[in-house]
Amino acid sequence: MKQSYKKTTLENGLRIITVPQPGNLATTVLVLVETGSKYETKNISGVAHFLEHMCFKGTVKRPSARVISSELDGLGASYNAFTSQEYTGYYAKVENHKNGKALELIADLYLNPIFDEKEIETEKGVVIEELNMYEDMPQRKIYDYFMHLLYGDQPAGWDIGGDREILKKMKREDFLKFRGEHYLPEHTTLIIAGGFDEEALLNSATELFKSMPSGGKGQKLAVTESQSEPALMLKHKESDQTHLRIGFRAFSMFDKRRYAAEVLADLLGGGMSSRLFHKVREDLGAAYYVGAEADLYTDHGYVAAYAGVEHSKLKTVISAMLTEFKRLQTELVPDEELVRTKSHLSGNLLLGLETSSSLAVFYGTQEVLKREVTSPEELLIGINAVTAEEIQAVAKELFKSESLNMVLIGPQKEEGEFKELLRSF
């Protein structure tokens, strides 16, 4: 795969990434801003996500949510927004002949939200119900608990959606202040990907964003980490299966060992031929979903395995996962398995870049987080260069008792037996 892209920086510092995809019938317009929940303080926890909602609630030109959604629906667009710990995004995906309108609309809701006070009060109920929805989705909610177990009472450990009581107290001034500190051109990236006229849309984008005012950027607190023994969190819930997440502290996305960590995680739980899939699902018949991931951020990261497990087989599954972690420390990965794992990881990377929306996210998130883009070709080189010895070295470095963490959501009430399992590692 050879994918070209162009980066243009406006005088005010805003970056525009254009990724032409000849033959594609769709264009994706994505705006990413370098801010998220890790840029918050306790008294405004959840404001980044709440602000994202409010950008769809009215602009100077389009004064209500109904006007905005009607216009986007009228374009036949696929559209939404998302907030993470370190960036927030707004996008629309349309047929190519409608991309100029989509660009103007996304620019409008990003640049000109009005934050109507009545809409803010109404939307509080929506945001809180979103939090309630995730409480009923343990397979999703366990991620939040795991982050809190790892990082505690600091932004990296807070729920991206915020705290219900804090959300109820938020005022228009909170949104204006946060936006003024973070929604700045030097920290904004516009990505256009798909089958578009590059010169025409680049000219339009320049005109739309060139007057965006600059300002002083609010910074995020550096993540602090402290752990000296295995940590456990039990969340009691009467459920039909126990949801499990177990893993270790790791390093940031800038660490040279990142490729080895990605290959290691894929080997553990990246596909139906992975070690944990075979052991937990095929051999033990204990789970439907099971996997592993290396989740790396700008200043922290972790490697974790996860599964939804039959209650009676929970301890057996935990022991099996710990055994696989140990095995990576004591045995070199066989050549055939390493080749297959790299092929699976590489194939999924390339197949995942088939659409304009996936291309926009791929190039945009790298630019907004790292200020540079690693091409798919460069990523493949990094993945394929990983050796069995490097995987073993990373396993020895990361898989330590003092950095082991586990969260369980299920009917279990007693911690003792699970703490003993973790201490045995």
Task: Specify the CATH superfamily of domain 231-423.
Answer: Metalloenzyme, LuxS/M16 peptidase-like (3.30.830.10)
Give the mean pLDDT of 47-75. Answer: 97
CB 252 within 8 A of CB 301: yes
Look at residue 75 and tell me whether its pLDDT is greater than 60. yes
Of 34, 52, 119, 367, which is the active-site residue?
52
H/E run at residue 422:
helix 416-423
Domain residues of the chain, as ranges? 6-209, 231-423
Q: DSSP for 22-87?
A: TT-SEEEEEEEES--GGG--GGGTTHHHHHHHHTTS-BSSS-SHHHHHHHHHHTT-EEEEEE-SS-
pLDDT for 3 beyond 90: no
* Secondary element (H or E) of residue 364: helix 356-370
DSSP label at residue 253: T
How would residue 261 be classed by pLDDT, with cut points 50, 70 and 90?
very high
Q: How far is CA 171 from CA 1, 29, 81, 188, 374, in A?
A: 48, 30, 21, 24, 40
pLDDT band, residue 216 (cuts 50/70/90): confident
Report the relative pairing of strands 15-20 and 188-194 from DSSP bridges. parallel
Give the predicted TM-score (pTM) of the model: 0.95
Q: What is the mean pLDDT of the chain?
A: 96
For the domain made up of 6-209, give the CATH fold.
Cytochrome Bc1 Complex; Chain A, domain 1 (3.30.830)
- Please determine, for residue 1, whether its predicted confidence score (pLDDT) is greater than 60: no
Average of pLDDT values for 34-41?
A: 97
Strand partners, 307: 244, 290
**Mutual orientation of helices 376-384 and 335-351 as an angle, nearest 10°?**
170
Q: What percent of the chain has pLDDT over 70?
A: 99
Give the pLDDT score at 2.
63
Is-same-fold flag (6-209; 231-423)? yes
Active-site residue 34, yes or no?
no
Report the C-alpha gap between 112 and 118 in whole angstroms: 17
* Per-residue pLDDT band at 278 (split at 50, 70, 90): very high
The 8-class DSSP code of residue 76 comes to T
Phi, psi angle pair for 227, to nearest 5°: -155, 135
How do residues 328-356 score in pLDDT, each as one tens digit? 999 999 999 999 999 999 999 999 999 99
Rounded Cα gap, residues 28 and 19, in angstroms? 10
